[in-house]
Amino acid sequence: MTAFHLRGDDEHRHLPGTDRSWGESWYHDFAATDGSYGGWVRLGLYPNLGVAWYWLAIVRPGEPLVLISDTTAPCPERDAPLAVQTAGWRTAFECTEPLMAWRIRSSGRARTYANPADVFTPEHPGDGDLDVEIDLEWRGAAVVYPYTMTTRYEQAAWVQGDVSVAGTHVDVYCPGQRDHSWGNRVWSFPWLWSAGHLPTNRWFHGVRTLVPGTGPSLQVGYVVEPDHDLRAAEAVDVEVELDGDDLPTSAYLEIAGLETRVIPELHAPVLIASPDGVTSRFARSLCRFEAADGSVGRGWVELNLPVGADRVTSTRG
């Protein structure tokens, strides 16, 4: 199976399908190489439901999780800019160079969580509110990688700009990742997604479904090394340990021959209540990646864990 033919216009919105859960999303994340800060942002549009989902998370060692989470915002009109505003927050996503660069500006009132697992308890009010603002650019560090099994693509990037939390500024310059996808949204099966950066300008990305049984699984990924073309992965092997709240405590990844030990350092989860009635613990964690050659980098691991669904935690051997 070959990848769909990717064009610069694919950076923007697509004609919706007829399924009520059809959606289109843009994910962007960033992680300082020393683990001193990180964050992720997602804008998801569900035009057949008339809503937009928006998540913005900022993490720093010794500080609470800072989170904006809203799945009830109005979906912008088809020909309108990729921007959403509510009484509590606003965001604007702008493609400044197709298949290469995006700028995201967001501001609003965020909730804080000293214990990130409290996000999974809907009635938990959090530990206070504060103002957060970002103005960041993602600029491609490698070619865009289109999937073969679905309309989605990923890109390693350098991220630069400013983050402000309650008036405290973070000067951002670090590796990151972005992706864009569109199609019928399904949150009912478990998966592990990851993307990271290692010294000497190496990048990697991998995703694998964690569905029990011997049937086909989604295994997609790549490794990028200096002076080499992007190397697609034929298989992605994972092993993950979870705590009692379904947050990862350790993991192992093997992507296109690159093996890494994964140590989650800062958690930034959200709780998903999807249109099809599925509730999912969506765990995103800034992680330390330790490669077999001794090099150490940072990035993000994501786990979609639907409540009540069977899943496996290891695909090794």
Q: Judge whether 311 lies within some domain.
A: no
What does the buried/exposed string (b/e) look like for 183-204 if buried means 16 or more CB atoms within 10 Å of the residue's CB?
bebebebbbbbbbbbbeeebbb
* 164: CATH: 2.40.370.10
Q: Flag whether pLDDT at 215 surpasses 70.
A: no
Q: Judge whether 315 lies within some domain.
A: no
- Mean pLDDT score across all residues of the chain: 95
Residue-wise pLDDT for 137-187, tens only, equals: 999 999 999 999 899 999 999 999 999 999 999 999 999 999 999 999 889
Give residue 154's domain range. 20-306
Q: Judge whether 51 lies within some domain.
A: yes
Q: How confident is the model at residue 2 (pLDDT cuts 50, 70, 90)?
A: low
Residue-wise pLDDT for 38-53, tens only, equals: 999 999 999 999 999 9
Q: Judge whether 13 lies within some domain.
A: no
Residue-wise pLDDT for 75-106, tens only, equals: 999 999 999 999 999 999 999 999 999 999 99
Tally of domains in the chain: 1
Q: How far apart are CA 138 and CA 103, in angstroms?
A: 6
Q: Judge whether 10 lies within some domain.
A: no
Q: Judge whether 4 lies within some domain.
A: no
Coil vs helix vs strand at 316: coil
Q: Judge whether 259 lies within some domain.
A: yes
Residue-level pLDDT at 258: 96
Coil vs helix vs strand at 75: coil
Q: Judge whether 14 lies within some domain.
A: no
Q: Flag whether pLDDT at 1 surpasses 70.
A: no
